[in-house]
Structure 1
Amino acid sequence: MGVRSELDANFDFEIVDEFLDHYSMMVDSMEVMIIDLSKPNMYERSVNELFRVFHNIKSASGYLKIEPMAKLAAFVEDELEELREKKPPISEESINWLLAISDMFAAWHDDLKADRELSKIKYFLLKTPDLEK
């Protein structure tokens, strides 16, 4: 049984469907916001929006007991909190790390749609980048 089947078995269909709709929109928007972090005039808006996206994923996946997703979202949220205090631009390493994080959440989106088990978190994602430029 895949993660979607487990969600459907344990939660109201409308809750699961709403989560999947919102999750899809958040995953689709991540990459553009991450790339916008390299633009000084877009930095503040993008970092705040990314923080909100990961906060929402953390909350919703925590409620639905999707533990790997909730834990990684919380981890990224903490890093974004630090980035909110930084002035642009951020390091290329930070942008590449966030793009890899985005890829992980996109893979999970595919897993959910195909009703598979969630892909394992890639170990290198757990090593935070140097936030200093």
Structure 2
Amino acid sequence: MGIRSDLDANFDFEIVDEFLDHYSMMIDSMEVMVIDLGKENMYKRSISELFRVFHNIKSASSYLKIEPMSKLAAFVESELEELREKEPPINEETINWLLEVSDMFAAWQDDLKLDNELSKIKFSLLKIPDTDK
């Protein structure tokens, strides 16, 4: 039994379906927002949107008891909170880290669609990049 079957067995279909729809939209826009962090004129908007995306994923996945997703989203959200205070643009190391994070959430999207077990979090994602320029 995969993650989707688990969710369907434990939660109302409409809640799961709504989560999957919103999650898909957030994943589809995540990479563009990360890339836009490197553009000074897009930084504030993108960092705020990314923070909102990770906050929403954290809340929804916590409610649905998808623990790895909830924990990684909370971890990234706290890093984004710090980045909100930095002057744009951010360094390449941080952008690459956020792109890897985006890839992890996209892999989980595939796991959800295919009703697989959730892929394991890559250890490299748990190392916060040096955010200084």
TM band (smaller chain): over 0.9
Give the residue type in structure 2 aligned to 1:114: L
Q: Indicate the residue corresponding to 1:39 in structure 2.
A: 39
Q: Counterpart amino acid of 2:115?
A: D
- Give the 4+ runs in structure 1 shifted more than 4 A: none
Cross-structure match for 2:73: 73
Cα displacement (A) at 1:119? 0.1
Q: Partner of 1:100 in structure 2? A: 100
Runs (5+) with no aligned partner, structure 1: none
Across the aligned residues of Structure 1 and Structure 2, the Cα RMSD in angstroms comes to: 0.3
Letter in 2 for 1:61: S
The whole-number CA distance in structure 1 between the counterparts of 2:74 and 2:108 is: 16
Q: CA deviation at 1:108?
A: 0.1
| Structure 1 residue 89 displacement after superposition | 1.1
Q: Can you list the C-alpha shifts for 1:43-70, whole angstroms capped at 9, x where unaligned?
A: 0000000000000000000000000000
* Number of residue pairs aligned between Structure 1 and Structure 2: 133
How high is the TM-score relative to the length of structure 2? 1.00
Using the aligned pairs only, state the percent identity: 81
Which residue in the other structure is 1:51 paired with? 51
Letter in 1 for 2:47: V
Matching residue of 2:28: 28
The secondary structure found in structure 2 opposite 1:129 is coil
Structure 2 runs not aligned, ≥5 long: none
C-alpha deviation, 1:21, in angstroms: 0.2
1:128 corresponds in structure 2 to 128
Deviations 1:90-132 (A, max 9, x none): 1100000000000000000000000000000000000000011
